Amino acid sequence: MYSSERIVITGIGIASPNGNSLGEFRENLLNGVSGVERYDIRYVGETLAGVCHFDPRKYQKRKEIRNGTRAASVAIYCANEAVLDSGLDWDGVDRTRVGVYVGITEHGNVETENEVYELSKFDYDTRYWSHYHNPRTVANNPAGEVTINMGVTGPHYTIGAACAAGNLGCIQGFQQLILGEVDVALVGGVSESIHTFGIFAGFNSQGALAAHDEPTKASRPFDMSRNGIVIAEGGAMYVLERLSDARARGATIIAEIAGFANNSDASDMVLPNAERQSQCMRMAIQRAGLEPKDIDIVSTHATGTKAGDIQECEAIRAVFDASCTRTYYNNTKSFIGHAMGAAGALELAGNIPAFADGVVHPTINIDELDPECALPNLVINKPVNAGSVDVILNNSFGMVGINSVLIVKRFQS
């Protein structure tokens, strides 16, 4: 049954290259601490990546980790942390009324590459092919493994939406709560991308793989010397509830989902379309009942590619005019790299604490701002105290022309 209730965030769990709790992540964003490091991957050799160092054994047994997938381990860790943060009496929750909606960029590449490599040791005799291959590589795996781990018997699925997926996981959960399909939604996005050599080789063949002598300076959106993407793994999961349910159990409400939109470029496999991006932002703002000048932080998607950053800045300037004097712009990928399907969910998480402290975390590694990426109030290298932050707009755009925008606001009763 359709509900007109407000949907709120009551728990957040993350695994990122520079922090495995929201507190640690936020502290490192405010202090300019990068999570990018040197990384060696089969067939590619030494490169750079945002690597997570969480302990999957906190919520999984060794056998479960071995037989499952890295993406699922990230999702399981984040989902359990989110439930813990929410204060839900998990033993008392009706788990037939819990849904799990996880955004992903791709799934199965890591496992397939690893299994083909192992098979090569047996002269490609398929009798040695892993019998875990099929459950590891089905598209619903990360969300499905969460349900097994947490005893969730309500609906689950993944949302394949390239690098827009983290936002769309949250949007899906919102919609399912409004429809009355579930009472609790575990939502967000995850990525295991650094464990597949193919993604590094693919970006390298495009001339879009970042390189720098100093790993922590490699991810540099908007900077004149930016030269590509730093690939990262990670995840962020949220507990979403209807406001009445959250109030009834005395939950601490972190934020409220105010609006969202997603659309398609329909123009190119890789090159973003600024007109469609600006359209997506406008739709989200309108659906939230807001105006551009009401947005306090725009969390940019910018990945560090020459064309991509410029296109997004063009889109932003088309939406946010001279009246938006209190709108600040920042970027989280400069700290952790591009976490693909997890990017939107992680980047939103890094900004949500601004509702409490009024501080906008910076974009680091900007030594010389590209004039084509100049934005008023772009927060560069040091945090800015905005005084108060009430509304955050989170941009996430992906390959094959998929765009998503999610707007959250400070909860006010």
| Inside any domain, residue 256 | no
Residue 357 placed within a domain: yes
Checking if the pLDDT of 8 tops 90, the result is yes
Q: Could you tell me if 118 and 217 lie in one domain?
A: yes
d(CA 370, CA 373): 5
150 and 64 within one domain: yes
* Pairing of the two strands 328-330 and 297-299: parallel
For range 366-386, the mean pLDDT = 98
For residue 248, what are its two tokens? Answer: 């009834």
Q: What is the mean pLDDT of residues 18-23?
A: 97
Is residue 338 among the annotated active site residues? yes
Residues 275 and 242 in one domain: no
Q: How confident is the model at residue 376 (pLDDT cuts 50, 70, 90)?
A: very high
Same domain, 103 and 39: yes
Calpha distance 324→62 (Å, rounded): 52
Candidates 78, 301, 313, 324; catalytic one: 301
Is 316 part of any domain? yes
Residues 220 and 317 reside in one and the same domain? no
Backbone Cα Rg of the chain: 20
Q: Is the domain of 23 the same as that of 68?
A: yes
Task: Examine the domain organization and report whether 268 and 139 are in the same domain.
Answer: no
Q: What is the DSSP letter of 259?
A: E
What CATH number should be reported for the domain holding residue 157? 3.40.47.10
283 and 323 fall within a common domain: yes
Q: Is 163 a catalytic residue?
A: yes
Quick one: pLDDT band at residue 3, thresholds 50, 70, 90? low
pTM: 0.97
Cβ contact 330:372 at 8 Å: no
Residue 1 pLDDT greater than 50, yes or no: no
Neighbours of 291 (CB within 10 A): 11
Q: Looking at residue 413, what is its pLDDT?
A: 85
pLDDT in tens, 45-57: 999 999 999 999 9
- Which helix (H) or strand (E) segment is 200 a member of? helix 197-205
What whole-number distance in Å separates Cα of residue 239 and Cα of residue 86? Answer: 7
CA 218 and chain centroid, separation: 20
Q: Indicate if 78 and 226 belong to the same structural domain.
A: yes
120: in domain: yes
Output 107 or 196, whichever has higher pLDDT.
196
- Which of 248, 280, 296 is at the close of a domain? 248
- At 4, the pLDDT band (50, 70, 90 cuts) reads confident
Containing 157, the helix (H) or strand (E) segment is strand 156-160
Residues 6+ apart with CB under 8 A from 314: 274, 278
Which residue type, as a one-letter code, is found at position 272?
Answer: P
Residue 206: its pLDDT value, please? 92
Marked catalytic residue, from 52, 78, 163, 313 = 163
Residue 366 structural domain: 261-409
Band (312; pLDDT cuts 50, 70, 90): very high
Same domain? 210 vs 279:
no
107, 195, 212, 338: which one is catalytic? 338
267 and 229 share one domain:
no
Mean pLDDT confidence for 132-160: 97
| Residues pairing with 103 in the sheet | 159, 189
Asked which of 248, 283, 298 is the last residue of a domain, the reply is 248
291 within domain boundaries: yes
Domains contained in the chain, number: 2
- 14 in any annotated domain: yes
CA–CA distance, 404 with 396 (Å, rounded to integer): 5
Mean of pLDDT over the chain: 97
Question: How many other C-beta atoms can be found within 10 angstroms of the C-beta atom of residue 34?
Answer: 22
- 119 within a domain of the structure (yes/no): yes
Show which of 198, 213, 248 is a domain's final residue: 248
Q: For residues 338-366, b (16+ Cβ closer than 10 Å) or e, as one string?
A: bbbbbbbbbbbbbbbbbbeeebbbbbbbb
* 254 lies in some domain: no
Once rounded to an integer, what is the mean pLDDT over residues 69-78? Answer: 98
The values of phi and psi at residue 21, to 5°, are: -145, 160
Q: What is the pLDDT of residues 187-225, one digit of tens each?
A: 999 999 999 999 999 999 999 999 999 999 999 999 999
Over range 135-147, report the average pLDDT.
97
d(CA 224, CA 390): 32
pLDDT value at residue 123: 96
Instruction: pLDDT band for 170, please (50, 70, 90 cuts).
Output: very high
229 and 279 within one domain:
no
Q: For the chain, what is the largest distance between any 2 Cα atoms, rounded to a whole number of angstroms?
A: 66
